[in-house]
């Protein structure tokens, strides 16, 4: 319903969804404040909400303001808020401390839209906040320059959500190339914990979800509040605990100097922020993101095709006979999508030339890609192609013809990284060229999938000829390019790859169908990378490939069971020169691909469970079907367990009243660890126990060597009369 303006200003609005409550206080003329974000409070009357407001309102204290500043969605310096203000900017030194008053408010029961203005500073504001069906808080803000003459320089726009005082620990992620999304925890002490990304993309070191929680929270226990910014460019997230008010988490785009100068009547709209609350630890937080992504209209609902990617098989050595033989072997082991990686376009014999020249190289492919694609399609597989449209090599025909199409600050060209620069997609002609070339390739060839890479950070990223900062506009141009290609080619799937997992966020996921989590296929590294990428992404959106026995990036060696068992849960692929694999290896690989196909209906729709085990050497995770009738778990030794007998594994997420048949899932004659040290239950016949026993008591863990795993399959037993 729409609430009249005068009534809305006196209301307390209670939004509810999927076990979450968000209570907004719109009384008075100031911006809305959050009285509660967390567990569902039930169906409260306006009187009860008024009593709630009284219960949580802080009194004034000696030495502080007469009225304690409230935690607004957009914190304002003008209210006396001593922390980071939500809006920073000025008009030639004036209007730097706006104080907004609500003009109107509308609610439909799941969201509220508020219009506010500061008539003195001549600024308008629109705030949107609500709950998604999965219980995520979703909010954003837009600011408008209402001055008819003077511009307004916007320096930053951030929104904040309060968290309870009980949230005394912080968790976020960091990382680098081939070591993406490494967790870090620390106390949520007084002061500001600030994370900034200035690389022009989400970044392998992005916080991903800045999470505050109760002491010792884990995957299956504790109460947590997490904030994610859906933006693929520069951004900042922070957690702040002040002596004068409640702790908050906040986020917004990081605007470069002069990047958002609003002329009269112009408006800047910030990215969407998503907040996830859970009373059941990080798994509950993740489940809200997973449910939200799976509910997207464009979410891939058909079985995710098993991929063979050619990069680690041939690198730049493109040869039709070798690639067709590779495709033959891929089809034999069960591959459903064949992806030709880097090296197919003009001048691209190594990574130092050719980016931007998006024409099939006639010297390598005299008949174009048709012979290879026809062969792949005849084998029953889809065809995919690697591209890196946002980049340009200085050694390319395009750079020589249009040096002005390189992002630069003016007067100098940024230092090369990976022998490449960034193509300025804010330049209309550059944008049109890239769109035209990709459109032409997709029109000429039967291409079902693009592996879209982004291998260079945006440094000194300015727009010619004056070099004004362009990261914000470049990010929007990339979104527009992706949107237009998908509109012109319905059914096209796109992977977000950025030096591996450098662009993972909900905004890029609105336009892509999976992410390449890392360039590292080392199964031990991928145990951690996949685990923490899953903080917001469900398994079907995480590209997970089986590499060669000796890792391309770490030189570590693993057996096929460990490599395949690690990749099994995600969007499975192969990154391996199968022409060098033995016949027995290909036979075993075929069995793993077959197992994945049998289980992917469960793996790619069920609820993800990650088990907290006291020994850090033992990791366990699984997927449980939504009807609780089937589950698959993996128990992995990522190092040598401390104890000779490592104890029990408690399996969460099951129906406590159902009886489950549990057995080890092995593709060999016996399950891993069938030597001495194997517990009695670990036989092909398995055991049957109630879900309550499996969760509260658990099962004895078999002796696992480091970098070895065992898979467990559970099915509920039919109830007996």
Q: Looking at residue 40, what DSSP letter applies?
A: -
Q: How far apart are CA 73 and CA 71, in angstroms?
A: 7
Joined together, the tokens standing for residue 468 give 């004004």
On the question of a cis peptide bond just before residue 264, with omega within 30 degrees of 0, the verdict is: no
CB of 669 closer than 8 Å to CB of 648: no
Q: Looking at residue 362, what DSSP letter applies?
A: T
Q: 453 among the known binding-site residues?
A: yes
Q: 455 among the known binding-site residues?
A: yes
Q: Which of 361, 424, 519, 522 is catalytic?
A: 519
CB of 330 closer than 8 Å to CB of 578: yes
Q: How far apart are CA 572 and CA 563, in angstroms?
A: 11
Q: 66 among the known binding-site residues?
A: no
CA nearest to 470, candidates 422, 517, 514? 422
DSSP output for 509-561:
GGT-SEEE--S---HHHHHHHHHHHTTTS-GGGEEEEEE-SB-TTT--B--HH
Q: How far apart are CA 481 and CA 512, in angstroms?
A: 12
Q: 165 among the known binding-site residues?
A: no
Q: 155 among the known binding-site residues?
A: no
Q: Which of 95, 361, 453, 612 is catalytic?
A: 453
**CB neighbourhood size of 566 (10 A):** 27
Q: How far apart are CA 4 and CA 9, in angstroms?
A: 9
Tokens 């990223």: give the residue.
461
Q: 342 among the known binding-site residues?
A: yes
CA nearest to 41, candidates 277, 281, 283, 247? 277
DSSP output for 413-436:
PPPPBTTBEEB-TTSHHHHHHHHH
Q: What are the E-state strand segments in 43-135?
A: 87-90, 101-107, 111-118, 123-131
Please, which residues have CB within 8 angstroms of residue 717's CB and are 6 or more apart in sequence? 658, 659, 660, 661, 688
Q: 577 among the known binding-site residues?
A: no
Q: How far apart are CA 490 and CA 421, in angstroms?
A: 31
Q: 319 among the known binding-site residues?
A: no
Three-state SS at 264: coil
CB of 166 closer than 8 Å to CB of 223: yes
Tokens 């039967």: give the residue.
446
From residue 73, how far is each of 22, 111, 138, 170, 325 by CA, in Å? 12, 14, 12, 21, 59
Q: 497 among the known binding-site residues?
A: yes
In the annotation, is 453 catalytic? yes
Q: 451 among the known binding-site residues?
A: yes
Q: Looking at residue 91, what DSSP letter applies?
A: B
Q: 520 among the known binding-site residues?
A: no
CA nearest to 298, candidates 547, 512, 449, 442? 512
CA nearest to 633, candidates 674, 603, 591? 603
Q: How far apart are CA 386 and CA 307, in angstroms?
A: 13
In the annotation, is 283 catalytic? no
DSSP run (H or E) holding 39: strand 33-39
Q: How far apart are CA 249 and CA 161, in angstroms?
A: 6
Three-state SS at 577: coil
Q: How far apart are CA 340 and CA 514, in angstroms?
A: 17
Annotated active-site positions, please?
453, 519
Q: Residues at the annotated binding site for substrate? A: 177, 341-342, 418, 451-455, 497, 519
Q: Residues at the annotated binding site? A: 177, 341-342, 418, 451-455, 497, 519
């Amino acid at each position: 319903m729409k609430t009249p303006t005068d009534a809305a200003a006196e209301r307390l609005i209670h939004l509810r969804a999927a076990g979450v409550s968000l209570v907004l206080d719109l009384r008075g003329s100031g911006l809305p404040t959050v009285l509660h974000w967390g567990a569902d409070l039930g169906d409260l009357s306006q009187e009860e909400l008024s009593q709630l407001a009284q219960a949580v309102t802080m009194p004034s204290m000696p030495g502080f303001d007469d009225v304690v500043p409230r935690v607004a969605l957009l914190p304002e310096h003008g209210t006396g808020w001593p922390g980071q203000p939500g809006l920073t900017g000025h008009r030639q030194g004036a209007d730097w401390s706006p104080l907004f008053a609500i003009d109107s408010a509308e609610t439909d029961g799941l969201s509220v839209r508020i219009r506010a203005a500061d008539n003195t500073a001549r600024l308008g504001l629109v705030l949107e906040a609500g709950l998604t069906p999965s219980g995520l808080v979703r909010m954003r803000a837009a600011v408008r320059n209402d001055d008819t003459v003077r511009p307004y320089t916007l320096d930053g726009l951030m929104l904040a959500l309060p968290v309870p005082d009980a949230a005394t620990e912080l968790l976020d992620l960091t990382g680098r190339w081939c070591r993406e999304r490494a967790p870090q925890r620390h106390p949520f002490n007084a002061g500001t914990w600030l994370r900034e990304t200035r690389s022009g993309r989400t970044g392998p070191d992005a916080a991903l979800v800045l999470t505050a929680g109760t002491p010792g929270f884990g995957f299956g226990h504790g109460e947590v509040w997490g904030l994610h910014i859906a933006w693929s460019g520069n951004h900042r997230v922070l957690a702040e605990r002040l002596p004068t008010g409640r702790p908050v988490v906040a986020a917004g785009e990081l605007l470069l100097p002069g990047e958002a100068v609003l002329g009269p009547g112009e408006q800047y709209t910030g990215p969407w922020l998503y907040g996830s609350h859970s009373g059941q630890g990080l798994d509950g937080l993740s489940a809200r993101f997973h449910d939200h992504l799976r509910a997207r209209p464009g979410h891939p609902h058909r079985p995710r095709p098993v991929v063979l990617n050619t990069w680690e098989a041939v690198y730049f050595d493109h040869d039709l006979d070798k690639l067709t033989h590779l495709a033959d072997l891929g089809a034999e082991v069960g591959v459903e999508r064949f992806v030709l990686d880097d090296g197919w376009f003009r001048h691209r014999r190594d990574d130092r030339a050719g980016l931007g020249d998006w024409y099939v190289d006639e010297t390598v492919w005299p008949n174009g890609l048709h012979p290879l694609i026809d062969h792949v399609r005849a084998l029953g597989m889809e065809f995919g192609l690697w591209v890196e449209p946002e980049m340009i090599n200085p050694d390319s025909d395009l750079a020589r013809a249009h040096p002005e199409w390189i992002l630069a600050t003016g007067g100098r060209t940024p230092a090369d990284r990976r022998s490449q620069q960034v193509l300025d997609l804010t330049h209309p002609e550059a944008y049109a060229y890239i769109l035209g070339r990709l459109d032409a390739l997709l029109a000429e060839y039967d291409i079902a999938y693009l592996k879209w890479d982004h291998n260079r950070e945006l440094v000194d990223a300015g727009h010619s000829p004056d070099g004004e900062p362009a990261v914000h506009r470049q990010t929007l141009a990339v979104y527009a390019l992706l949107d237009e290609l998908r509109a012109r080619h319905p059914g096209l799937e796109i992977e977000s790859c950025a030096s591996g997992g450098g662009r993972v966020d909900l905004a890029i996921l609105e336009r892509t169908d999976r992410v390449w989590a890392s360039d590292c296929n080392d199964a031990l590294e991928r145990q951690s990378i996949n685990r923490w990428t899953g903080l917001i992404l469900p398994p079907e959106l995480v590209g997970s490939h089986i590499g060669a026995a000796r890792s391309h990036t770490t030189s570590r060696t693993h057996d096929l069971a460990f490599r395949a068992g690690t990749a099994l849960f995600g969007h499975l692929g192969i990154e391996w020169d199968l022409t060098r694999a033995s016949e027995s290896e290909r036979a075993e690989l075929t069995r793993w691909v077959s197992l994945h196909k049998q289980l992917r209906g469960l793996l790619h729709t069920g609820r993800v469970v990650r088990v907290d085990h006291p020994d850090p050497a033992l990791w366990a995770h699984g997927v449980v079907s939504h009807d609780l009738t089937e589950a698959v778990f993996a128990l992995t030794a990522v190092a040598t367990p401390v104890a000779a007998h490592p104890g029990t594994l408690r399996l969460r997420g099951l129906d406590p009243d159902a009886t489950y048949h549990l057995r080890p899932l092995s593709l060999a004659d016996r399950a891993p660890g069938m030597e001495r040290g194997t517990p009695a239950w670990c036989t092909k016949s398995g055991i049957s126990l109630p879900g309550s026993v499996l969760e509260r008591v658990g099962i004895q863990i078999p002796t696992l060597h480091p970098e070895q795993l065992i898979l467990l399959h559970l099915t509920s037993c039919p109830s007996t009369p």
